[in-house]
Structures are given as C-alpha cells and as structure tokens.
Amino acid sequence: MKKRDIILIISLLLISGLGYCLSVNRLAGGSAYIYIEGNLYDVYDLKQPQTIRIEGRGGIIDDVVIENNGIYVKSATCPYRECVKSGRISRDGESICCLPAQILIVVRSDEGTGYDAITK
Amino acid sequence: MMRSQSKSVCLCAVLSATGLMVSYVESFVVLPYGIPGIRIGLANIATLIALYLLGGFYAFIVTVIRVMLSALLFGSFSSFLYSIAGACLALLAMTVFKRLGFSIYSVSVAGAVMHNTAQIAVAAVLMSGVYLLWYLPVLIFTGVMFGLLTGFLADILVKRLSKVLFSTGEGG
C-alpha cells in the first residue's frame, strides 16, 4: 500500500464516522410514515401499540407491529425478508424498506425541528 | 503484457462463472447486522482480477455477465436494476482509481464503497426515500472494511495468476 492509499482509506473512515455521529444524534421519533411504491399510505402514532397488515407490490403482505414507541416488521411474504431482519426502529429518520414489495417505513419526529427542518 | 485473445476470452469466461458462483454462495452468508445491503462482495474479486489481468473492457464483460446470469437464475427484474447500477458504477470507480495510480487495495475499497452508495442511491430514488441515505455512513464503513479484505485476496490471486497464466515466453 502506498501513502495515497492510506490517506484515501482514512478519509473514507472519517467521513463515515462523522456521518454516523450525525445520524445517532437524531431526535426521538413520534410517528411512522408508511409509503407504498413511493406514495404515502398512512401515518401511525408510535405511542399507540397496534399491528398493521400492509399489502405491497406483487401482493406481498407485511405484518407491522408498533409498540414501546418503536416499529418493526414482524413477518413478511417477500423472498429475502430484509425488512424483518432490519429489526426495530424508533429514531427520527430511521427507516425499514422492503424492496420487492416497495414498502418504506420511516419514523419522523413530531417536533418538526432538526433534520426535517434543515432538508426541507 | 502480450497474450492471445483466446486466452483472454477463456479467462473472462472462467472469471464470470467464478464470480457467479461466489456471489451465490455468499448469499447464504447472513451477516449479523440489521442493515440490508451489507455484503462481503467476494464476487468483486473476480472483477478485480479481470481488471488487472485483462483490462477494463473484459472486467466490464465479466461484471455484466455475472449480474445478468445472477438475476436470471436467482433474482428478479428489480433486483437486477439495483445490482447492475451498483456493479457498473463500482467498476467505473475502480477503473478511475486504477488509472490514478492507486494500489489494488484502494481500487477494491473504491469499488465496494461505490457499489453500496449506488445501491442506496437507486433505492432512495426509486422509493423516493431520502431517509435511506442515513445508512450511508454505515455502508461506507463496511465498504472500506470488506473492500480491504477483497483487495487483499485479489492482490494475492492477481500475483499468482499472472505468474501461472502469462509467464511462458512473455516475461510478465
């Protein structure tokens, strides 16, 4: 390895570390926005525990559970179940996506400050 | 380095087949992280070998054949779109970094990071979810780590293969 290789690798690690620090300092989430094929399907309050059944593209069914101010996909009929493996999310800006069904679950804070306000 | 075209075509076919099988085997390896898109990227070794031994054109062929066959055999059309976007941009990044004179480690890291970035970008565009970009720091980090690993393996393989394949009467 040459000097420039080490510089490249260290700078990439710094960028990812910086980005990670930004991403963990996010606000606690308030609502879960569920999108199907890019369109907003519904918004759920994370404070109300419930189980939702969503049908995405190609008839793929996801069972989504809301509890303890978080949300996770309990079961899905898609082939790889990446959405189930994603686990529970609860912070502002975190998301679970199911690519085959084109279902996207995003947690956003209700305060409307922080990240939301900056990017909009 | 002089070599016959038939030798290049043969090696190209072997590398495509190897890449395909390696990526298939790798799909059984479940990494213990809850983030989709983290892969070791072992198939990239085949692309790296093609890039170093045969050049950019053959590396492109190896990549396209692997991704197409992989999508036909094990995937779907949408997975093909993600894979081809990631693979082509990764190859572009690797070619550029190789031209700039970086070592095979950096070339591999650049490919891995670019692959992850392209896939998350395609996902963000297709699903209009800018929020997916929050995973980018983690994906860059894993890209660097696994890129170094595949770069290390590819470095060994390129050195040995070039000795075995192109040593007779060509002087390396």
Q: What residue spans define the domains of chain B?
A: 5-166
Per residue in A26-66, pLDDT tens?
A: 656 678 889 988 888 888 888 888 898 988 888 888 899 99
pLDDT band at A119 (very low <50, low <70, confident <90, very high): very low
**pLDDT given for residue B158 in this prediction:** 92
φ and ψ at residue B137, rounded to 5 degrees = -55, -45
Instruction: Look at B144 and A9 and tell me if their CB atoms are within 8 Å.
Output: yes
User: Is B14's pLDDT higher than 50?
Assistant: yes
User: Is B29's pLDDT higher than 70?
Assistant: yes
Instruction: Look at A16 and B144 and tell me if their CB atoms are within 8 Å.
Output: yes
**pLDDT given for residue B154 in this prediction:** 94
**Residues of A (66-85) whose Cβ lies below 8 Å from B:** 82, 85
Least confident interval from A34-43, A67-76, A101-110, B70-79: B70-79
SS3 of residue A67 by DSSP: strand
Token pair for residue A22?
A: 């930004």
CATH, range B5-166? 1.10.1760.20
Strands (E), A4-108: 31-36, 39-45, 50-55, 61-67, 70-76, 95-98, 103-108
**pLDDT given for residue A114 in this prediction:** 42
User: Is B128's pLDDT higher than 80?
Assistant: no
Dihedral of CA atoms B110, B115, B116, B120 in degrees, nearest 10, equals 140
Say how far apart CA B127 and CA B82 lie, in whole Å.
12
**Residues of A (20-49) whose Cβ lies below 8 Å from B:** 20, 22-23, 26, 35, 37-38
**If residue B28 lies in a helix (H) or strand (E), which one and from where to where?**
none
Least confident interval from A97-101, A110-114, B61-65: A110-114
Calculate the average pLDDT of chain A. Answer: 81
**pLDDT given for residue A118 in this prediction:** 39
Token pair for residue A28?
A: 């606690």
φ and ψ at residue A28, rounded to 5 degrees = -70, 145
* Reduced DSSP (H G I as helix, E B as strand, rest coil) percent helix, strand, coil of chain B, to 5: 80, 0, 20
Calculate the average pLDDT of chain B. Answer: 85
Say how far apart CA B134 and CA B120 lie, in whole Å.
10
Question: Please, what are the domains in chain A?
Answer: 27-119 (2.60.320.10)
Q: Do B16 and B54 touch, CB atoms closer than 8 A?
A: no
Say how far apart CA A34 and CA A24 lie, in whole Å.
22
Q: B120 to chain A nearest CA, in Å?
A: 11
Least confident interval from A4-8, B25-29, B75-79: B75-79
Edge-to-edge strand list for the sheet holding A103-108: A39-45, A31-36, A103-108, A95-98
Question: Number of helices (H) and strands (E), helices first, in chain A?
Answer: 3, 7
User: Is A25's pLDDT higher than 70?
Assistant: no
User: Is B2's pLDDT higher than 70?
Assistant: no
**pLDDT given for residue B36 in this prediction:** 58
